[in-house]
A and B are shown apart, each in its own frame.
Chain A
């Protein structure tokens, strides 16, 4: 009974993903690229949500696991005869070993998860700003190493010749897998324990919950989803190290916060809303037809609109579009609203 009542928490975000995929099938292949990109962003943001949303600790490092996943899936699927042409410094083991599409996605998830676990082992002892800066340091180090380590990837060049297997089905199923994993995690014991530490660390610790252990688990799971999303991403378009760095970190974090950090629905809505608007204005640089009107905007408008919109949403509605709540049917009782954590009265 309880489980059935909670199902909309999973079904509504999943339905949003499916609707996006179906819309993507209906449009021209030129416009479909935007829908594919949006589905990948959903996967990444849901990956972020698993750690940040449930623990309440901000991490700037998750994109490094996206990058590691992309590198893993990319290096292992470039056709053997082209490997050395694209990646002249590649180590012998990586030149001689290749895997298929699904294998590369599974390995990307595994590498992301293992890397996040290894990084989290020391880092999850930190909290607050120290944790934020330490995870930022992880992003910087990963970016630096991937840029200059030619033996594990293309270095400063973009990944070309990776088979482009991420079509609308693979993207949609990938995003759905992320949503389902996030839902299961937040419903099981571990997820609830972590959410308890988010609401009141002292009370949670008094109830016997190890904050460190729960955060580490979520960090590793989030890293695995991030790696998986990175695998999907590299199979979509040729990625370079610069595509998986600061801009992606900020944009995905902003999606999470604008949607509403505390809920899975918020992660999905934030990614769909911001990426949808961004895609619309990007497409409008080449004229789009809106209800019979032809709209054309100058290049760069998309970035500015997105910047204004993100700032405005945060100023006017700081708890995000969903307010951090999951979808619930109207006749049911609302969950107790988050207590305002006012620090400075105005």
Chain B
């Protein structure tokens, strides 16, 4: 029985390692080759860069020919502000829906949850018109507003489920003490929501950072491009310049990977806990 168990365990690991290679392979390939000279990229694509093949020529070009730093800043601003406001407005809404219930509460909750399933992109025609009319065309604000609208339904759903689990003794004690309602929310309830932030973050940050559609539609000038759009256009422009292309891709990959690895435990815990609906 033990030999059988050992063999079975090996087989399982073999499958998992094979898939790991499939999952990591392409990424490693791209990043590895971004540090090589053009000849080495084509000559020996599968080997890592060594002293003779190491080259940063691609990276230099990316920095020179594009405003990658600006794109990165834009993405950072849009993502962080959207995330922050989604959390704030979402938590307030989830709290109001569970605490200050009124006759139409369930209807409002249902109304807000429609957004989880129905994609906001379909209304792009009208969104663009609205932004133009409001003079917000080609601004980061437009992106932020759209992303907040996009992220709220899921955030409210996750936070509502979370609020159900909070023991309400603290709230009752605060009420007995005569603490005003707004303070109860911001100082008693909000800190208790901290574990849910990881879950909300996973579902909010990644789609915003990686989104191509809205930056494509709502931003026209180079200075408002996000990193995803910027990289995409750079790639389209320099498609034959392999060094630069690989460098641009790597620069887009690495920050995400680093953050992911650092926060992977929280992210995955957030995903698995939020998924247990």
Whether chains A and B associate is: no
Task: Give A residues with C-beta under 8 Å from B.
Answer: none
Taking Cβ atoms with an 8 Å cutoff, the residues of B that contact A are none
